[in-house]
Structure 1
């Protein structure tokens, strides 16, 4: 690995999960955001799917559209997602100082990295981030909405929910810090079965009831950590959107579930209602 590749984490799924051309990517995200319903409160945390944009982009856009009103207050994003490619015991930070997408570079927040240095469950691994799509696909949306911000990217492997919560408490911050959990829901169930399964999972999340199992959500571990933190910090969850790949761009035979869920610190005016790119 050369020095430049250690400093900058290059995109791994540009041209696969989302457009590699900067103009086309920007236009795609603008179109998705334009079609998304807005919500009125400021979220402290979001659960957002991480499939190819053709599959889950409409759901992700709903989660991010509501940030526009308060985007100027958000300076940092704590971004957690599950490990799809490399087995990890703990939570992995990158070696890289920047994450790059076709829309530019995002700085890794070195102050927050330092704040986690004493935690035994947090390690540093370039390999964990090298091919991981779960975090990468969130960055273009965040770049379009927030503009200038720093990111604390963590790939979550085999670790307890309590250990995730402990990490979140170190970087919780105030209105300047947004937490994003990247996760899909059920994988490769028939359409009707997936709908029932995902609805039950969402109800569990809305009740702050953990643990979720991996079969319910590939990001179950970081979600479980967030749910524990949500209880402590009295966050209120709101379902923004719930669909699956059968609703967007896939068949009904085997679908992947997607939910957009926002957590805010005070109840407000909520509006309720694998490398093929589906996950």
Structure 2
């Protein structure tokens, strides 16, 4: 079974050449860090809005292009309400750039947890995972995917999943989240700066879904970072008023890395 793209042609170009050219443009304008991240948090909006911010995180994968063989990707559910975390029975996830094999062994491992289950409806139209796939295909050589949509789950449940699949240098963790929604430009800047401070402080208790639509997966990552005595830092913080939208009603985007 294959999970076909649902938002190609709307959130990002459906033509492979156009898509690759756009991604290269974003990545070339992003600063590459000195150290490759173990985990990233990046936004999931239409590329003209959030693509440059996401590229700030993805550009840092260049040194590990050939060494990362598994990506654990978690994003929030926008269309389907459910308890726990949803995996897919699909063998591949496809974008205009090709197909990505799903790590079935990892999926079966996760299925041993009582709050993880198959729910294809959660994956079928969900953009929070899909928009990251072309970025991953453009920046990594050959990897398998562990796609997980988060419903109503606790930070402890999410951190359990991440810890189970944390692995070594071969595994990258990607958390999908936008920040504030539909405030004016100045208000959004203040709110998103505060949210970034909470993220850097690993304060998953205070983080709200209004501050970050990916609160559930973000909170689980922050809890695990506390347990592992690791840190996360903000590398980009902008909103749609900085990229392709007006400044009257904006959506916030942040990029964060765990190195």
TM-score under structure 2 normalisation? 0.98
2:17 maps to which residue?
Answer: 23
Q: Out of 118, 124, 135, which is 2:118 matched to? A: 124
2:187 maps to which residue?
Answer: 193
Structure 1 spans left out of the alignment, 5+ residues:
1-6, 265-279
Q: Which digits, 9 at most, give the CA deviation of each residue in 1:2-37, with x for residues without a partner? A: xxxxx0000000000000000000000001100001
Structure 2 residue 56 is the aligned partner of structure 1 residue 36: no
Secondary structure of 1:88's counterpart equals coil
Structure 2 spans left out of the alignment, 5+ residues:
none
Measure how far apart 1:107 and its partner are: 0.7
Q: Out of 230, 237, 240, which is 1:242 matched to? A: 237
Q: Which digits, 9 at most, give the CA deviation of each residue in 1:155-212, with x for residues without a partner? A: 0010101010111111110110000000000011111111000000001111111121
Q: Out of 208, 212, 215, which is 1:220 matched to? A: 215
Secondary structure of 1:18's counterpart equals coil
2:254 maps to which residue?
Answer: 259
CA distance in 1, matches of 2:231, 2:152: 27
Q: Out of 191, 202, 205, which is 1:208 matched to? A: 202
Q: Which digits, 9 at most, give the CA deviation of each residue in 1:122-155, with x for residues without a partner? A: 0101110000000000000000110210010000
Q: Which digits, 9 at most, give the CA deviation of each residue in 1:52-96, with x for residues without a partner? A: 000000000010000001122111000000000111211100121
Equivalenced residues, count: 258
Q: Out of 89, 97, 101, which is 1:103 matched to? A: 97
Structure 2 residue 131 is the aligned partner of structure 1 residue 137: yes
TM-score under structure 1 normalisation? 0.91
Match runs of 1:149-164 below 5 Å? 149-164=143-158
**Aligned structure 1 segments of 4 or more residues deviating by more than 2 angstroms:** none
Secondary structure of 1:92's counterpart equals strand
